[in-house]
C-alpha cells in the first residue's frame, strides 16, 4: 500500500496579522510548517509528502527525503488540486492536512488511513460540546432562529483521507466551478459518503494571535536535560563482519544478529530512546521485521533521532564504551565517531567512543561476545545538536 500526504500550506494567514505566512512562524524552536511536515515524515505508513506553498515562496527548512514542494493557487481547493496533479498514479490513499495544525498525532493519521481504506473517504472530527445555535442577522440585530441538537454537530479537522480515485473525483468537481471549504465537501458533491473518525482536541488549528500564543505556551519545553543509558551484547562468530558505529572493523569474527549486529549503534539507540522515554531497539526495530534483516543500524539510529525530534528533543552528546577482547579498535575510533555524529546530527566533538577489554573475564573476556554501554544527554529546543 502506498500513502501520499498533501500538506496544505499555501495560505497567507491574514487573520494572524504576522509579517510572514503563519506556517513559517516559530513554535518551540521549529516552524509551524516543519512541525506539521515532521508528523508525516516520521509516520511509518506515509510514503511520500507534497507540500503546497504560496507561489514564489522559498522555504528555508530542509525536509527529509520524499518531500516535494509545489506552488499553490488562489483558493485552498486550487492548491490541493495542484498537489494532486503530482500524486503518483500508484498511490492508494491520499491524506490532506492543514499545515496550521502542527500537533497532529501519529494515531490520528493512522485512523484516517484505515478509514479511507475501509470507506473511500474520511475526515477527523470531534463532537461539539456546547449547545449550538443557528443565528440570523448580525451585531445588535442577531437573533437565534434555531437550536440545533449538538449530538449531530461535529467540528471538522484534518487530516482528511481518501482513496486516490475518490479524491480524483473530488478534485474534478472543484475544477468544474464548485466552491468548497475542504476536500470532504467536494467528495460529498461527487456522490461519495464521507465517514468520520475520532479527532483529537489537541489537534488545534492556529488561526489567531491567541491560538499562536496558546500553542507556544503548550510547546514550551520543561527546564533541564534528559539522560538515558543503553547496553547491547552480541555473540561473536566466524564468517560475519564486525561492524561498529557503521564502520567495518577487520576481524576474524563478527557479531551475530538479525541486522548488522552493530552493538555501538544499538547501545546508542537505547540510550537516546531511553532518555526520551520512547522505548528501545527491540520495540521499534524488532528481529521479527524483515525490513531489518541484514540492514545497517545507522538508519535505525537516524530514525531514533527523528523520533525524539518530534518531542522537541535533540542529542547534546553521547559517550560509548565498547567491550571487546580483540581486535583493538583504536585505529577506527575517529571513523566510528564521525559516522555516529552524522547520524545523531551533532558535531564529532560531541561523540566519545572508547574501547576496553574485559580482562579475560566471562564470554566477552574469552572472545566469545562483544558488548557496548552508552550514555546520551538530550536537551530541549533547536539550539542544541551542534555542541553546547
N-terminal to C-terminal alpha carbon distance within the chain? 42
For the chain, domains (ranges, CATH) are 3-219 (3.90.550.10), 226-380 (3.30.1330.50)
The grid cell for 77 is: 481547493
Please report the pLDDT score of residue 382 as a whole number.
43
Please report the pLDDT score of residue 65 as a whole number.
60
Please report the pLDDT score of residue 340 as a whole number.
97
Whole-number Å distance between alpha carbons of 238 and 221: 48
Cα atoms in the Cβ-side hemisphere of radius 13 Å centred on 176: 10
Is 206:16 a contact under the CB 8 Å cutoff?
yes
- Please list the pLDDT of the chain residue by residue as tens digits (388 residues): 999 999 999 987 667 767 778 888 988 778 899 899 989 988 889 999 999 999 988 776 666 566 899 999 999 999 999 999 999 999 999 999 999 999 999 999 999 999 999 999 999 999 999 999 999 999 999 999 999 999 989 999 999 999 999 999 999 999 999 999 999 999 999 999 999 999 999 999 999 999 999 988 877 766 678 999 999 999 999 999 999 999 999 999 999 999 999 999 999 999 999 999 999 999 999 988 888 899 999 999 999 999 998 888 999 999 999 999 999 999 999 999 999 999 999 999 999 999 999 999 999 999 999 999 999 999 986 433 333 2
Closest residue by Cα to residue 251 from 170, 337, 367, 167:
367
> β-pairing, 154-163 with 242-244?
unpaired
Whole-number Å distance between alpha carbons of 383 and 235: 40
Q: DSSP state, 2?
A: -
Please report the pLDDT score of residue 143 as a whole number.
95
Query: For the whole prediction, is pTM greater than 0.85?
Result: no
Amino acid at each position: 500500500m502506498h500513502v501520499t500526504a498533501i500538506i496544505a500550506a499555501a495560505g497567507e494567514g491574514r487573520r494572524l496579522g504576522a509579517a510572514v505566512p503563519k506556517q513559517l512562524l516559530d513554535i518551540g524552536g521549529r516552524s509551524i510548517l516543519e512541525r506539521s511536515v515532521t508528523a508525516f515524515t516520521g509516520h511509518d505508513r506515509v510514503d511520500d509528502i507534497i507540500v503546497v506553498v504560496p507561489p514564489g515562496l522559498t522555504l528555508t527548512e530542509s525536509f527529509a527525503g520524499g518531500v516535494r514542494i509545489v506552488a499553490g493557487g488562489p483558493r485552498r481547493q486550487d492548491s490541493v488540486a495542484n498537489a494532486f496533479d503530482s500524486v503518483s498514479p500508484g498511490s492508494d490513499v491520499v491524506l490532506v492536512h492543514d499545515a496550521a495544525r502542527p500537533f497532529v498525532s501519529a494515531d490520528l493519521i493512522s485512523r484516517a488511513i484505515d478509514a479511507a481504506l475501509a470507506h473511500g473517504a474520511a475526515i477527523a472530527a470531534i463532537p461539539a460540546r456546547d449547545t449550538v445555535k443557528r443565528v440570523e442577522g448580525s451585531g445588535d440585530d442577531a437573533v437565534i432562529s434555531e437550536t440545533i441538537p449538538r449530538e449531530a454537530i461535529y467540528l471538522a479537522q484534518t487530516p482528511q483521507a481518501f482513496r486516490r480515485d475518490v479524491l480524483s473525483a473530488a478534485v474534478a468537481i472543484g475544477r468544474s466551478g464548485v466552491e468548497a471549504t475542504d476536500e470532504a465537501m467536494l467528495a460529498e458533491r461527487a456522490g461519495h459518503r464521507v465517514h468520520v473518525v475520532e479527532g483529537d482536541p489537541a489537534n488545534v488549528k492556529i488561526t489567531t494571535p491567541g491560538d499562536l500564543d496558546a500553542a507556544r505556551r503548550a510547546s514550551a519545553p520543561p527546564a533541564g536535560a534528559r539522560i538515558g543509558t543503553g547496553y547491547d551484547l552480541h555473540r561473536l562468530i566466524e564468517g560475519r563482519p564486525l561492524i561498529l558505529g557503521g564502520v567495518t572493523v577487520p576481524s576474524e569474527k563478527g557479531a551475530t544478529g538479525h541486522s548488522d549486529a552493530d552493538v555501538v549503534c544499538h547501545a546508542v539507540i537505547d540510550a537516546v530512546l531511553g532518555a526520551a522515554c520512547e522505548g528501545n531497539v527491540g520495540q521499534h526495530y524488532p528481529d521479527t521485521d524483515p525490513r531489518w534483516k541484514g540492514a545497517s543500524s545507522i538508519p535505525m539510529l537516524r530514525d531514533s533521532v527523528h523520533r525524539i525530534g518530534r518531542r522537541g528533543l535533540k542529542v547534546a552528546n553521547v559517550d560509548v564504551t565498547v567491550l571487546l577482547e580483540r581486535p583493538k579498535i583504536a585505529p577506527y575510533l575517529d571513523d566510528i565517531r564521525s559516522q555516529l555524529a552524522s547520524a545523531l546530527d551533532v558535531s564529532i566533538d560531541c561523540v566519545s567512543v572508547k574501547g576496553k577489554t574485559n580482562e579475560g573475564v566471562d564470554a566477552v573476556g574469552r572472545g566469545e561476545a562483544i558488548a557496548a554501554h552508552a550514555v546520551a544527554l538530550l536537551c530541549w529546543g533547536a539550539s542544541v545538536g551542534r555542541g553546547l
